[in-house]
Amino acid sequence: MIEFHDKSIIELYVNGDLKTVAARPADTLLFILRESLGLTGTKNSCGNGDCNSCTVLLDGWPVKSCLMLAVEAVGHEITTIEGLQDVPMQKAFVEKSAIQCGYCTPGMIINSHALTTIYPDASDEIIEEWLESNICRCTGYKEICEAVKSVINM
């Protein structure tokens, strides 16, 4: 049984590295990533599970880091936007002009990257189902969908 009491040192496997940080069991993964590990690519926008700006991958699956405790991630592999280095999805977002203010972008790219990794042949329906999770206030989502489709058709 894993247990943590009070503020304790936890080990998180982030972007391929084992990181040691002090965390309260009540700290969200989002808070620890940003404030303790300096991984500020992961964004906080609603802090309540509603917008997906804070999406990271847990063992390859997108999760909302604002609704997850950091201690929950112990023993799992975490991937943040900083862990993706020039993957096709990032290039596609740049080329398709799917970025405006960029605040939703890390969450969008992380989610879309997971989607195309898990479903390399995703149908339009599945793409929409996945992207429904993310709010973008700047675009009309079209360029984002195009970027995702361009990676699927690669």
Partner 1 sequence: MESRLAIGKNVIRVDAHDKAAGRTKYNSDVTDPSLLHCKMIVSQYAHANIKSIDTSEAMTAPGVQRVITGEIAQGILTGTFVEDRPPLAIGKVRYHGEPIAVVIANTELEAKRGAELVKIEYEPLPVLNSPSDSMKPNAFLVHENLANYRKMKECTPQPGTNIANNVRIRKGDMIKGWEESEVIVEEYLYLPQADHIALETRSVKAEIKPDGNIIIHSSTQGPYIIRKKLSRHFNIDTGKITVHTPMVGGAFGGKAAVQLEMIAYLASKAVGGREVILINTREEDMISSPCRIGLEASVKLGATKDGKIKAAQITYLVDCGAYSDMGAVMTKSIASDCTGPYNIENVYCDSLCVYTNHPYVTSFRGFGHSEYTAAIERTIDKLAKALNMDKIQLRLKNIAIPGDTTPTCSTLTKSNIGDLKKCLETLKVKLKWEEGEKVDINKDTVKCKGISCFWKTSSTPPNAASGAIITFSPDGFAHLSIGAVELGQGTKTAMAQILAERLKVDIKRVKVSMEINTSDNPEHWKTVASSTTYMVGNAVIEAADDVICQIKDISAIVLRCSPKDLEVSGGKVFLIDNPEKWIDITEVVHGYKYPNGNSIGGQIIGRGSFIMKHLSGMDENTGRGNPGPLWTVGAQGVEVLFNKKEYSYKIINAVSVIDAGTIINPIVASGVTMGGMSMGLSLASREAFIYDNNGIILNPNLRSYKPIRVDEEPEYIIEFIETPEVDGPFGARGLGEHGLVGMPAALINCLSTAAEKDLNRFPLTPELIWKTK
Partner 2 sequence: MITFDFDYYRPDTIEEAINVYKKITGQEKKAIYYAGGTEIVSMSRVNQLSFDSVIDIKAIPECNVIETKDDKLIIGSAVCLTRICDFGGYPLLGAVCRRIAEHTARDMITLGGNILGKIQYKEAILPLLLTDSKVTVAGTAGKSEKPIDRIFNEKPLLNAGELLVNIIIDKKYINNPYSHSKKTKQEKIDYPLVTIASVKNDDEIRIGFSGLCVYPFRLDIIFGNIDNTNPESEINNILNRVPAPIVNDILGSAEYREFVTRNLLIDLFNYYGGMN
Which one of ligand FAD, partner 1, ligand FES, none is in contact with 54 (Cβ closer than 5 to 8 A by kind)?
ligand FES
Q: Residues 6 or more apart from 91 whose CB is under 8 A from it?
A: none
Token pair of 149 as six digits: 């489709």
- Name residues whose C-beta falls within 8 Å of residue 35's C-beta, 6 or more positions apart in sequence: none
In this structure, what DSSP letter does residue 16 have? T
Q: Which residues pair with 63 in a beta bridge?
A: 56
Choose between 26 and 75: whose C-beta lies nearer to partner 1: 26
Instruction: Check binding of 55 to partner 2 (CB under 8 A).
Output: yes
- Estimate to the nearest angstrom the gap between the alpha carbon of 101 and the chain centroid: 17
Instruction: Determine if 117 is a binding residue for partner 1 (CB under 8 A).
Output: no
Options 34, 43, 64, 113; binder of partner 2; rule CB under 8 A: 64
Phi, psi of 21 (to 5 degrees): -140, 155
Chain residues binding ligand FAD by CB under 6 A are: 49-50
Measured on CA atoms in the order 125, 142, 52, 22, is the torsion positive or negative? positive
Amino acid found at 61? W
- State yes or no: residue 102 binds ligand FES (CB under 6 A): yes
DSSP tag of 69: B
Taking CB under 8 A as the criterion, the residue among 61, 95, 118, 120 binding partner 1 is 95
Q: Which is nearer to partner 2, 98 or 108 (CB)?
A: 108
Contacting residues toward partner 2, per CB under 8 A: 1-6, 24-28, 31, 47-49, 52, 55, 61-64, 66-69, 71-72, 111, 129-130, 132-134
- Binding-site ranges for ligand FES (CB under 6 A): 44-47, 49-54, 64, 66, 99-105, 136-139
